[in-house]
A = this chain, B = another copy of it.
Amino acid sequence: MPNSARLRPFLDKLMARTILTEAEQAVVLSLPGTPQQLSAHEGFVQRGEAESSACLVVDGLCAKVVNTLGGNRQITGFYIAGDLPNPHSVMLPNAPTALQAISPAQVLRIAHSELRRIASTHPGIGEALSRDATCEADISAEWIVNLGAREAKSRVAHLLCEMAVRYGKAAEGSFEFEFPATQEIIGAATGLSSVHVNRTLKVLREEGCVEMTGKCVRVPDWRKLQECAEFDNTYLQMHEPMRFSPI
């Protein structure tokens, strides 16, 4: 698998939000990086570790994980193909939170120096990276709302809505997508116990909102699920690509 293929979903994601010239697109696809294969549950960035490269998710599901002193575990974000979980390590090399693969996954390590180089040489790329980081921040804010202001049913439903949109599978009516997270992982992301996630999924299933069997999420009625989740996808900023920097 050539690196350009690994970088493809990343470029697609950037271009969903930012207009890039042909030249800039080519530069992104020619980024040098080292691929790394990960098995499920394997960590690939440790908390506090000084990094010299950022990790692009090529395939699989990854997550940012924090272990509290109280012995609890909290997932603060999920990352799928095309996501750059730690772009901020370019600015602050000491990772404040660990990263790990949830399912078997592949990441591409890209040197900070390379990212800095293409961002400063090509204003459109710099802009795209900034805009991407901004969207991540908006997602974090939504997670805060989810954890602080919604009950279990809405929390789980909201997470599934977000993932449906990010996987690009959300559509009017019914659809399904793969989300390889166990109920315990969903619990770690929503601040619920795995037992309660189970009960919650049961209710959602009985109400005809979602069905989860293994890694497969079936949404029989997108509108219904969104209502149950109080989901408003504007925060994911998947509308029109834009650009401020001169071409």
**A interface residues, Cβ below 8 angstroms from B:** 48, 64, 66, 68-70, 72-74, 76-77, 88, 91-92, 94, 96-97, 116, 120, 123, 127, 130-131, 133-138, 140-141, 143-145, 147-151, 154, 189-191, 230, 234-235, 237, 244-245
A72 to B145 CA separation, bound complex (whole angstroms): 9
Known interface pairs A70-B230, A77-B141, A134-B133. Does A96 touch B147 (Cβ–Cβ under 8 Å)?
A: no
Interface contact A133-B137, CB-CB below 8 Å = yes
A92 to B131 CA separation, bound complex (whole angstroms): 7
Contact with A88, one of B64, B72, B137, B191 (Cβ below 8 angstroms)? B137
Known interface pairs A72-B150, A73-B149, A92-B237. Does A144 touch B140 (Cβ–Cβ under 8 Å)?
A: yes
Residue of B nearest to A113 (CB): B244
What B residues does A245 contact at CB under 8 A?
120
Interface contact B135-A137, CB-CB below 8 Å = no
Residue of B nearest to A132 (CB): B91
Contact with A70, one of B94, B143, B149 (Cβ below 8 angstroms)? B149
Residue of B nearest to A71 (CB): B149
Interface contact A148-B190, CB-CB below 8 Å = yes
Interface contact B191-A147, CB-CB below 8 Å = yes
* Shortest distance between the CB of A111 and any CB in chain B (Å): 13
Interface contact A230-B69, CB-CB below 8 Å = yes
A235 to B150 CA separation, bound complex (whole angstroms): 26
What B residues does A190 contact at CB under 8 A?
148
Residue of B nearest to A235 (CB): B96
Interface contact B244-A116, CB-CB below 8 Å = yes
What B residues does A138 contact at CB under 8 A?
88, 92, 96-97
